[in-house]
A = this chain, B = another copy of it.
Amino acid sequence: MAMKALSKTKAATIYQVAQRAGVSIATVSRALRDSELVTEETRARVHAAAAELNFTPNRLGRSLAEGRHAANGIVFPDLVGPYYAEVVLGYEAAAAGFGSSVLILATHGRADAAAAVQELAGRVDGLAIMGQTVGDDVVERIAATGLPLVLLARDPVKDVDTIRTRNERTAQALAAHLLGHGHRTFAFLGDPGGAPDVAGRYAGIAARLRAQLVPCDLDLESGQAAARELLRDPPDAIVCANDEVALGVHLAAEAAGLRVPDDVAVTGWDDLLAARFAHLTTVSQPMRELGATAARWLDHRITERTTDPAGRATAARRRVLPTELVVRRSCGHHPPEVRT
């Protein structure tokens, strides 16, 4: 059946398909992209040839010719914790809807993060940058190239679109709730200088009550370690910058023979799946929506740019997505009708 495959080591090109189908590469291109300028018969022949050769167009060639990557990127500090994963998933799903592939880059706090992000910038039509992955200088430099950009969970930079989640106000609500429980002494676990999100949460708390500030990274182990110290003379309540830290505190409390919330109240932020099972009072964020919105905004910018390359870009957009206090048991005892 002449199904003889090529040398296994080299993908077929449009030229081979053209030759096999007995047409020009232009016709192959047209036929494969369902242009209307090809006979049904020709199209069939081309498709057959392509199938026989197992041909998939090389995106590099296509993109270079089209002048677009058909790909977007997203940069985040790490993928640990469901938090970033959810954002990325929302982003990917939305981008896929626009026909864009997505490139991910986890900086892991690497020193060469800036270079990696710049390099990524050269591969995409638009880029979402989360948190403190790179400095403002890098953001500005990339923005200056005209590449559509959107910042996530990060302080705005000049003319760049930014999407955040509500921190301060919900933190105030959390503080009020804790005060309502009768708690009077507090500690805040987290580093307000590290992430804007954390800064906002601390600001909201500090606006309502006096809390001892205990610097702490955002992972479970850091929370655990910080708590070990703190729990020797525990405050009434420990407000944690995120759920992972709070879960670490939980473990430390358990290890120290302390009960939550009787001996010490604990709260987190993010509403991870684990928070539900640790009965952790926390704050839920629309993470999926955060990512999806980013992808949508980028798509708009990209379209706007290709539609009217000359026109002045519309003003930078800002959005703060709502967050919600999720009351469970870790903040203190509630009447029985309160939700899980």
Question: Which residues from chain B contact A85 at a C-beta distance below 8 Å?
Answer: 79-80, 82, 84-85, 88
Instruction: Apart from A10-B309, A96-B105, A277-B278, list 20 A-B contacts with CB within 8 A.
Output: A7-B310, A8-B146, A8-B313, A9-B309, A54-B141, A54-B144, A56-B119, A60-B63, A80-B86, A80-B89, A82-B85, A85-B85, A88-B104, A89-B106, A101-B123, A244-B273, A247-B273, A247-B277, A272-B274, A274-B274
Number of copies: 2
Q: Is A93 an interface residue (CB 8 A)?
A: yes
Question: Which residues from chain B contact A273 at a C-beta distance below 8 Å?
Answer: 220, 244, 247, 272-274
Question: Are B11 and A59 touching (Cβ within 8 A)?
Answer: no
Question: Which residues from chain B contact A278 at a C-beta distance below 8 Å?
Answer: 277
Q: Is A71 an interface residue (CB 8 A)?
A: yes
Question: Which residues from chain B contact A309 at a C-beta distance below 8 Å?
Answer: 9-10
A54 CB to nearest chain B CB (Å) = 5
Q: Taking CB as reference atom, which chain B residue is nearest A78?
A: B89
In the complex the two chains form, what is the Cα distance from A105 to B93 in whole Å? 9
**With contacts A5-B144, A313-B8 known, is A92 near B106, CB below 8 A?**
yes
Q: Is A147 an interface residue (CB 8 A)?
A: yes
